[in-house]
């Protein structure tokens, strides 16, 4: 059943297990204890950063399987994506798995997009289980989107740091007592005319505003109905814009609102400018921190909103503005 | 219901309408009469090739809406993808549409991936209608994957030419008598060790082999049960490898088998080396030629298999091999 942009899951697809594996800076941040494994080596023992990024998928998947008490062969399909050109971190990660592979590109919204689509697949019975696996890596992203690392370029205060790591969630039809997806709102592409590629929070905030507003309308809810509302990676700048945009409509997110991009690092101590970003930001914060809170009863009703900015270096060079997107998934327990 | 990799659509999601708009070389090929519009200008009146590629989406969507007798606001969601870094042709194409947007990356398999996922979405009732829109463009792809066009590099006989254009299919729950999706097989990532980026047919053929074999097994069919079997863009080289691989298992595709990459151009007259490739190859051949044959009763049961090679220029430079993928969708009328 759908209400415009929002799809409701009558069969309550369960989140059977999650895995979150992160890099060095993430393991020095305040959420370190919630992640399954901390990998200080940016190359993860591999020859290239790209191979390391693929390995983060495999590691997170392993922890998600363990928590789900499943084997790889039990998984119906994999929904996966990342930020690299042609999404190679994902496709290379899964080339030995022999599992149906559904490649996604939603920029940093990919984890929420995958969770929403995976919930549709399991809810409808298309597959009994689906794994959602999403990665990013500071070193692969920085040289692809901005400058070679060795260049040592300075970054403006609005810049965010790409999370190194991967998060994986396994969705299944069975699993009494596990957190489950209630509904999801698929967002539209929203372009508010931002053209500064070092201010992605501002580019994404209007998309988050549109999607959250639609979600509240379509589900007849208000922020107070949720124990936790988490956007993906708006950072300090985008977070404030989102709060401001919603408050103009009389919608106050309040204390229950966090942005994963503001939670990942101790921004001042770690000198992280406007915070964290990247596909893996929401993926790892959800798979580590939020999932733990759902299981341990800290939160009973959670709304996550994955935010993505859809530019490429080429579109920035061509003086295009930066469209954003946001997909939201509501999870209960 | 699913049988391992294959998802069956009990509610027979209909293909309400399709649109196919192509560029200059495609309009000089043997399928020209089947396309909705032929655009000789590679820039399509825009400032950049990338903007032109986005415009192909919008044009194909317009024709698909017309054939479906629907308005844009009737569409539940859009599944869209292309070959450009960060899939910008798609996301920029849809930034004014205000429609839920699901970004896909399946390289040249994206149209089949989208048709399969869109069928799941409509079959399950998540959305009443879904548009699948996929593009590629010779000029944007060539400079991104290979060399600047002005360089005039020579290409080996195994090379394929990226199709310029976009194809769009609108799937809906209602529409008696229209072609409908019966089932889909989601393929796995298959890496057979090919490392020549100018021989993508060889890299993709093993994935097509695996997916077609699974489809025949899971649906208890053989090639003779289909009126038409069409792979996406294996080209002359990959097509022969696929025929050979299947024949070793006693599976003979026979005369009903075509590869869209071999159909798009008059390969010798147009000097197209091993044929056509690109996301838009299957998307436009399906949306133009195959859809016409389904509607006019030339074929009653069709199997399409979108084939993609999942490398990036960076992975080729890093001496990685080239994984392939293939998704198959069975369509009846």
Read off the CATH number of the domain in which B275 is found: 3.40.47.40
Residue found under tokens 């998947």: A61
Total count of domains within chain B: 2
Residue B156 and residue B250 in one domain: no
Residue A155 and residue A131 in one domain: yes
Is A23 inside any structural domain?
A: yes
CB pairs under 8 A between A and B: 177
Is A119 inside any structural domain?
A: yes
Residue B162 and residue B185 in one domain: no
**The model scores a pTM over 0.95:** yes
The number of residues in chain A equals 333
User: What's the rounded Cα separation, in Å, for the pair B120 and B72?
Assistant: 21
pLDDT score for A4: 86
- Other beta carbons within 10 Å of B171: 33
With CB atoms and an 8 Å threshold, state whether B189 touches A81: no
Nearest residue, CB atoms, B105 vs list A2, A76, A104: A104
pLDDT score for A3: 61
Is A4 inside any structural domain?
A: no
* Cβ within 8 Å of residue B119, ≥6 positions away: B7, B9, B13, B171, B181, B184, B329
Q: What is the mean pLDDT of each run of 10 residues along chain B (333 residues)?
A: 84 98 98 98 98 98 98 98 98 97 98 98 98 98 93 91 98 96 98 94 97 98 98 98 98 98 97 97 98 98 98 96 98 97
Residue A140 and residue A192 in one domain: no
Q: Are strands A257-259 and A228-231 parallel, antiparallel or unpaired?
A: parallel
ipTM above 0.95, yes or no: yes
Check: CB of residue A333 under 8 Å from CB of residue A300.
yes
Is A92 inside any structural domain?
A: yes
Q: Are strands B129-136 and B77-81 parallel, antiparallel or unpaired?
A: parallel
Residue B86 and residue B57 in one domain: yes
Residue B139 and residue B123 in one domain: yes
Mutate to test the interface with A, among B91, B117, B118, B309 (most CBs of A within 10 A): B91
Residue B118 and residue B11 in one domain: yes
Q: With beta carbons under 8 A apart, name residues in chain A contacting B218.
A: none
pLDDT score for B152: 87
pLDDT score for A2: 58
Question: Left if phi > 0, otherwise alpha if psi is -120 to 50, otherwise beta: which for B77?
Answer: beta
Check: CB of residue B38 under 8 Å from CB of residue B26.
yes
Last residue of a domain, one of B172, B198, B220: B172
Nearest residue, CB atoms, B312 vs list A77, A84, A123: A84
Is A6 inside any structural domain?
A: no
User: Tokens at residue A33, please?
Assistant: 């204890």
User: What's the rounded Cα separation, in Å, for the pair A276 and A228?
Assistant: 19
User: What's the rounded Cα separation, in Å, for the pair B282 and A75?
Assistant: 29
Q: Which segments of chain A have a pLDDT < 50?
A: 1
What does the radius of gyration of chain B's CA atoms come to, in whole angstroms?
Answer: 18
User: Tokens at residue A120, please?
Assistant: 């549709």
Residue A209 and residue A313 in one domain: yes
pLDDT score for B3: 61
Nearest residue, CB atoms, A92 vs list B101, B123, B323: B323
Nearest residue on chain B to A110, alpha-carbon basis: B103
With CB atoms and an 8 Å threshold, state whether A312 touches B88: yes
User: What's the rounded Cα separation, in Å, for the pair B72 and B90?
Assistant: 16
User: What's the rounded Cα separation, in Å, for the pair B275 and B282?
Assistant: 13
Q: Are strands A2-3 and A6-8 parallel, antiparallel or unpaired?
A: antiparallel
Residue B6 and residue B32 in one domain: yes
Residue A187 and residue A246 in one domain: yes
Residue range(s) defining the domain that contains residue A302: 180-332
Last residue of a domain, one of A153, A172, A191: A172
Q: In the structure, how many helices (H) and strands (E) does chain B have?
A: 11, 15
| Short-list A174, A160, A137, A258, CA closest to A208 | A258
pLDDT score for B2: 57
Check: CB of residue A84 under 8 Å from CB of residue B312.
yes
Is A252 inside any structural domain?
A: yes
With CB atoms and an 8 Å threshold, state whether B86 touches A188: no
User: What's the rounded Cα separation, in Å, for the pair B9 and A126?
Assistant: 9
Residue B213 and residue B125 in one domain: no
Last residue of a domain, one of B172, B189, B215: B172
User: What's the rounded Cα separation, in Å, for the pair B173 and B2?
Assistant: 19
Is A5 inside any structural domain?
A: no
Is A2 inside any structural domain?
A: no
How many CA atoms are closer than 13 Å to the CA of B62, on its beta-carbon side? 10
pLDDT score for A1: 46
User: What's the rounded Cα separation, in Å, for the pair B123 and B129?
Assistant: 10
Nearest residue, CB atoms, B88 vs list A186, A187, A310: A310
Q: With beta carbons under 8 A apart, name residues in chain B contacting A314.
A: 50, 84-85, 88, 144
User: Tokens at residue B245, please?
Assistant: 């691989």
Nearest residue on chain A to B5, alpha-carbon basis: A100
Residue B280 and residue B155 in one domain: no
Nearest residue on chain B to A315, alpha-carbon basis: B88
């Amino acid at each position: 059943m759908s209400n415009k942009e929002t799809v409701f899951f009558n069969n309550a697809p369960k989140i059977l297990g999650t895995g979150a594996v992160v890099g060095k800076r993430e393991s020095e941040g305040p959420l370190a204890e919630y992640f399954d494994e901390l990998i200080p080596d940016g190359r993860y023992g591999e020859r290239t950063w790209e191979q390391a990024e693929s390995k983060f998928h495999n590691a997170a998947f392993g922890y998600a399987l363990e928590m789900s008490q499943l084997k790889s062969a039990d998984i119906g399909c994999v929904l996966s994506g990342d930020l690299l050109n042609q999404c190679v971190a994902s496709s290379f990660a899964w080339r030995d798995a022999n599992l149906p592979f559904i490649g996604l590109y939603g920029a940093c919204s990919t984890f929420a997009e995958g969770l929403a689509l995976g919930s549709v697949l399991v809810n409808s019975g298309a597959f009994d289980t689906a794994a959602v696996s999403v990665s990013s890596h500071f070193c692969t992203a920085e040289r692809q989107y901005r400058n070679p690392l060795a260049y040592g370029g300075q970054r403006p205060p609005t810049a965010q740091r790409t999370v190194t790591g991967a998060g994986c969630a396994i969705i299944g039809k069975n699993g009494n007592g596990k957190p489950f997806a209630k509904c999801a709102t698929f967002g539209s592409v929203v372009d508010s005319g931002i053209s500064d590629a070092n201010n992605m929070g501002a580019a994404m905030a209007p998309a988050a505003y549109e999607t959250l507003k639609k979600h509240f309308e379509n589900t007849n809810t208000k922020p107070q109905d949720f124990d936790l509302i988490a956007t993906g990676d708006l950072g300090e700048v985008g977070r404030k814009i989102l709060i401001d945009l919603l408050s103009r409509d009389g919608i106050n997110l309040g204390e229950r609102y966090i942005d994963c991009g503001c939670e990942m690092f101790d921004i001042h101590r770690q000198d992280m400018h406007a915070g964290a970003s990247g596909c893996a930001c929401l993926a790892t914060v959800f798979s580590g921190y939020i999932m733990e809170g759902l299981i341990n009863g800290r939160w009973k009703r959670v709304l996550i909103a994955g935010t993505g900015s859809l530019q490429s270096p080429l579109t920035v060079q061509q003086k295009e503005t930066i469209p954003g997107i946001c997909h939201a998934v509501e999870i209960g327990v």
